[in-house]
Amino acid sequence: MIRARRPGFTPAIAVVLGSGLGGLADGLQGATAIPYAELPGFPQPAVAGHAGRLILGERRGLPVALLQGRGHFYESGRADAMRIAVDSLARLGCPALLLTCAAGGLRPEVGPGSIVMLTDHINFNSPSPLVGEQGAGRFVDMSEAYDPGLRGQLRQAAAGAGIPLPEGVYAWFGGPQFETPAEIRAARTLGADLVGMSVVPETILARYFGLKVAALAVITNLGAGMTAGALDHRQTLDHAGRAAADMTRLLDRFFAGLAGAR
């Protein structure tokens, strides 16, 4: 189906756009947009800030695939909600996947609006998207889940754009409820720097299908119990939207660097 809509197109990288970041697809040159509803097995997002489209085109001279929206574990109870989407990218010949997301921060000095690069993750939710897979390939090495080379290129891009890029460990909670203060304390004690409800299953799937992975998170709030007041999804969309301009500048530098290295 994808090949029929865009014959011969091979993305150099695919980007999953998280909550409030769907507007990053604007400005893609020669864009072909395909609704997830037309792609069998792709998720049908039901969360505000997730449009549900695959967009193929060029940005800064680099062929890219943008996924406007993702399927979450909490929508279906399935950790493999993004399996078909990630498999499809691999079949297109895409070598790398950049995940973006909104996340809660666990370090007070890295507040809402900050962009954080993931270096590792902790799976608090336990289900693996590879349950039921057969063969030795399911025993995926996760010792360098987030590719050092891609992380280095993101650091260079952030420095060139003048954007701070702290790094940290992401803890996956299944949601859709926000974490409790006790869960946040436990995550901090175990070495997590941010928490969220996505990324980890997609990272595991991408590594299974042979894609390199990098991930960026926009901090939209501090974890429960770290500040006064209740948490809600409107905060996620608001702060992600405010950080979108910085994310766009960072990704443009990143894409340009990848294009120059081809």
Asked if residue 49 has pLDDT above 60, the reply is: no
Q: Describe the crossing of helices 200-208 and 83-91 by its angle, rounded to 10 degrees.
A: 40
Band of residue 130 on the pLDDT scale cut at 50, 70, 90: very high
CB atoms within 10 A of CB 227: 12
3-state SS string for the chain = CHHHHCCCCCCCEEEEECCCCHHHHCCCEEEEEEEHHHCCCCCCCCCCCCCCEEEEEEECCEEEEEEECCCCHHHHCCCCCCHHHHHHHHHCCCCEEEEEEEEEECCCCCCCCCEEEEEEEEECCCCCCCCCCCCHHHCCCCCCCCCHHHHHHHHHHHHHHCCCCCEEEEEECCCCCCCCHHHHHHHHHCCCCEEECCCHHHHHHHHHCCCEEEEEEEEEEECCCCCCCCCCHHHHHHHHHHHHHHHHHHHHHHHHHHHHHC
Name, in order, each residue with C-beta under 8 angstroms of 4's C-beta and a sequence gap of 6 or more.
Answer: none
Dist CA 31 CA 36 (whole Å)? 15
Asked if residue 136 has pLDDT above 70, the reply is: yes
Q: What type of residue is 69?
A: G
CATH of the domain at 64: 3.40.50.1580
Asked if residue 215 has pLDDT above 70, the reply is: yes
Asked if residue 182 has pLDDT above 60, the reply is: yes
Band of residue 27 on the pLDDT scale cut at 50, 70, 90: confident
Band of residue 47 on the pLDDT scale cut at 50, 70, 90: low
Asked if residue 240 has pLDDT above 70, the reply is: no
Q: 235 — phi, psi (to 5°)? A: -60, -40
Band of residue 242 on the pLDDT scale cut at 50, 70, 90: confident
Domain that holds residue 242: 2-261
Dist CA 221 CA 209 (whole Å)? 33
Band of residue 237 on the pLDDT scale cut at 50, 70, 90: low
Percent of the chain at pLDDT > 70 equals 93
Span of 1-10, 17-26, 75-84, 118-127 with lowest mean pLDDT: 17-26
Q: Is the backbone of residue 44 left (phi > 0), alpha (psi -120 to 50) or beta? A: beta
- Upper half-sphere CA count for residue 196 (Cβ side, 13 Å): 30
Asked if residue 50 has pLDDT above 60, the reply is: no
| pLDDT at res. 48 | 58
Quote the number of domains for the chain. Answer: 1
Asked if residue 232 has pLDDT above 80, the reply is: no
Asked if residue 236 has pLDDT above 60, the reply is: no
Q: Would you state the torsion angle of the CA atoms of residues 153, 122, 42, 54, taken in this order, to the nearest 10 degrees? A: -20
pLDDT, mean of residues 194-222: 96
| pLDDT at res. 238 | 64
Band of residue 157 on the pLDDT scale cut at 50, 70, 90: very high
Asked if residue 234 has pLDDT above 70, the reply is: no
